[in-house]
Structure 1
Amino acid sequence: MHALTVQYLTQVLFERGERELTASPSFTDARESWANPTTLTRPRPLQPNEGWYWDVLADGCGLLWGGCVESLVAQVAAGGYLPTSDALEGTMLYLETSEWRPAAWVLAYLLTGFGERGWLNIFQAVLVGRPQVWHYEHSLTPAAQVAYRKEQRETIIGTVRRYNAYIPIVQNMDFGHTDPQIVLPSGQQARVLASEKRVFLSY
């Protein structure tokens, strides 16, 4: 496992308290078949990490709520398992996408649904994991990978800003379907000091 992944697994399993996040200098989103025994010992190629993308220098604090976009779309469609607006008071939204690479309009529709419910005026911040662009069967060229990530970032910002001009949005974070991974303590406290470009999680 990557050293950063081990660090956050150790924190969530054996430590308590608030920890400041640090962005990994490199990452990978390549996957190999677990049916091949060499997968466990063969390092995957890494590429430089561009760091976090920030929008609006405001601070936020709240309990983490969210998950994988594809799963949340199903939850919103069903409607039966969603929290109430009152239950979301004082929360912070986190999102990430899988190797299926949902189109940008899927994120726009999901966030529009949140906005029309008034939730984007409830959330204290929006944290977004780095999108995985690698896929077993449908690979993208390096240029197309860059374009996909850029379109997703711009779509998230554009949709959220139609409903809330102030909450901080932090994207390209090390959680979700890429490696190394931060372990997000869903339901626990997070703080975003956008004025200092710092993020803290409580374990």
Structure 2
Amino acid sequence: MIEIGTAKGTGQRVSYPAAFDSSGYFAFDQWPATCSFLTAAEIRSVPPQATKVSHRSSDIKISLIGSSREVTAKGARCTIAFRLPGMNGAVLIDERTAGRRVTALPESELPSGGTNSVEVGDGCAADRTTTEVQCARGRITFKISTPSAYQKRERSSEEKVRYSLAGKIVTFDRESAGGFQKKVAFEREHITIPFAKLIVAKL
């Protein structure tokens, strides 16, 4: 059984670089490090049983709209991996843009192109069909998702997953009609969105 806690932030703000590219974005070798967006302690505040939390940074190639330039944004992607009881968890974060001031999530950045997106507050929109959430605040737009996988491959271990939330146990049976979709919706609401709002509070 996996416990769900209350998201708690460190209060530390994301620092912005002073150097800008001619495109209006931050210099692409100086984008805020995405792996600084969520600390190990913040990860453990949501699933308190998370262990072996690790951050892995990587670059993203971006084709600039209205230009033939393809650039590399250094450290704009972060994969945070951790262990949960019987499962491997992850948080995937991509910076989509950094530098230009944003007041709302651009339509081009809406999950699923806006087809299945729903606003969830604080400048964020969620995809109704996955755990993906995209947000815009200050000078950053980013997307975040929380995929999970069973550690064991036996059929019996994959049929059900149990979460404990506010003293109540919620069980999702993957073999039942709509079971997988209900599990994804629960994880989006109680895991991905709280993580996204921790990040937004730092921007």
Q: Please say whether Structure 1 and Structure 2 have the same fold, judged by a TM-score greater than 0.5.
A: no
TM range (shorter): under 0.3
TM-score by length of 2: 0.27
Instruction: Tell me which structure has the larger Cα radius of gyration.
Output: 2
**Is the helix fraction higher in 1 or 2?**
1
Identify which of structures 1 and 2 has the higher relative contact order when contacts are C-alpha pairs closer than 8 Å and 6+ apart.
Answer: 1
- TM-score of the two chains, using structure 1 as the length reference: 0.27
